[in-house]
Homo-oligomer: A and B are copies of this chain.
Amino acid sequence: MSNIRDVARLAGVSVATVSRALSNPEKVSDDSLEKVHNAIAQVGYRPNMLARNFRSARAYAVVVLVPDIANPFYSLFIRALEDRAQQKGYAVLLGDTRGTPEREMDYIRRVETRLADGIVQLRPSSEKSQNNIPPDIPCVNACGCEYTTGPAIRIDNRAAAKTMVNYLISLGHRRIGVISGLKDNPHAIDRLEGYKEALAEAGIPFEKDLIAEGDFTMWSGLNAAFQFCNMKVRPTAVFSMNDEMAIGAMQTLKNQGIRIPEDMSVTGFDDIAYSKYSDPSLTTISQPAEEMGKMAMDMLLKVIEGEPLSQRECVLPTEFIIRKSTGPAPGKK
């Protein structure tokens, strides 16, 4: 493998000139520039970025910590993140934690040992489920909740949930079931807050039994729905905290002979691609996953470069999408 000295020798210039020709060509005469380029072509020189990064003490890589890459919301986010990273000359190290702190630690160690310059954290964290990331590590939280500290990109989960539940109430629903995420999940907490607010404003008492706990997988949605089927007085609508669980739930409901939306309305959250193709298509909240990915990368780069952030937290707007899985409460016209 040829190195910069070989090129310098062949071009008849010093190594400094070769180095400059590559990274600061404006500081080199056209004459030298040409000699260097010829020499590079002749020996097929490729700069050793490992050496360059080492010298400049920068990995030009960021870690993205994601609970599960197979989740379509996350993969959309990451696709946008990667896109922006590539534009900026950064690599994205995929850190699928599968929810385990050990794996997360492993990746945090990578930035401590300089293999990456910063972290994009997709696991929502609050003061309760605490963040393991040391404060001196550049990090942006890209799925924050209301209590997230540090740089963050997020949506207003509470308001979005409230919008959805208000909509169901406006359709005449009074018994509205919830398929929640795990109880201590910050997103689940914020969204439940929005649900409660909407009920309160409509003067509907909150009933604990109407909350079924899931874990954001289709399978858990499928199971959670049984809880509603077996009630003496069934809810007439179900607010699921993500689309996957809603899709799972719809399967259960349909199998039990419950028609959607005639007998029961179902709503989701995220607007993953499949929600448009489910049967019936799903009324949901669209999160700007791509926008969030881009912004997270931009924000992280600022933190890495030490530039000041114009705002610590960036709350992006969501879109409320009405499809065919919702309708008037049975008995209302």
User: Interface residues, chain A, CB within 8 Å of chain B?
Assistant: 46-51, 53-54, 57, 59, 61, 64, 68-70, 72, 75-76, 78-79, 82-83, 86, 91-96, 98, 103, 106, 110, 112-115, 218, 222, 247-248, 251, 254, 273-274, 276-279
* Residues A50 and B114 in contact, CB atoms below 8 Å apart: yes
Chain B, Cβ-Cβ closest to A96? B82
A69: chain B residues within 8 A (beta carbon): 69, 75, 78-79, 82
4 further A-B pairs in the complex, CB-CB below 8 A; given A91-B115, A247-B274, A251-B279:
A50-B50, A50-B59, A69-B69, A248-B277
A276: chain B residues within 8 A (beta carbon): 218
User: Nearest-CB distance from A157 to chain B (Å)?
Assistant: 23
User: Nearest-CB distance from A266 to chain B (Å)?
Assistant: 13
Cβ 8 A contact of A70, one of B61, B79, B113? B79
Cβ 8 A contact of A47, one of B70, B95, B113? B113
Chain B, Cβ-Cβ closest to A92? B94
A64: chain B residues within 8 A (beta carbon): 94
* Residues B49 and A114 in contact, CB atoms below 8 Å apart: yes
* Residues B72 and A113 in contact, CB atoms below 8 Å apart: no
Bound-state Cα–Cα, A248 to B49, Å: 45
Chain B, Cβ-Cβ closest to A59? B50
Bound-state Cα–Cα, A276 to B276, Å: 16
* Residues A83 and B110 in contact, CB atoms below 8 Å apart: no
* Residues A218 and B114 in contact, CB atoms below 8 Å apart: no
22 A-B pairs whose Cβ atoms sit less than 8 Å apart in the complex: A49-B110, A49-B114, A49-B115, A50-B54, A50-B57, A51-B114, A61-B91, A69-B69, A69-B75, A70-B79, A70-B273, A82-B94, A86-B103, A86-B106, A93-B93, A93-B94, A94-B94, A218-B274, A218-B276, A247-B274, A277-B278, A279-B279
In the complex, the 9 A-B pairs of residues with the closest C-beta atoms, listed nearest first: A279-B279, A54-B54, A49-B113, A50-B114, A50-B54, A92-B94, A70-B75, A49-B115, A91-B93
Chain B, Cβ-Cβ closest to A247? B277
User: Nearest-CB distance from A117 to chain B (Å)?
Assistant: 10
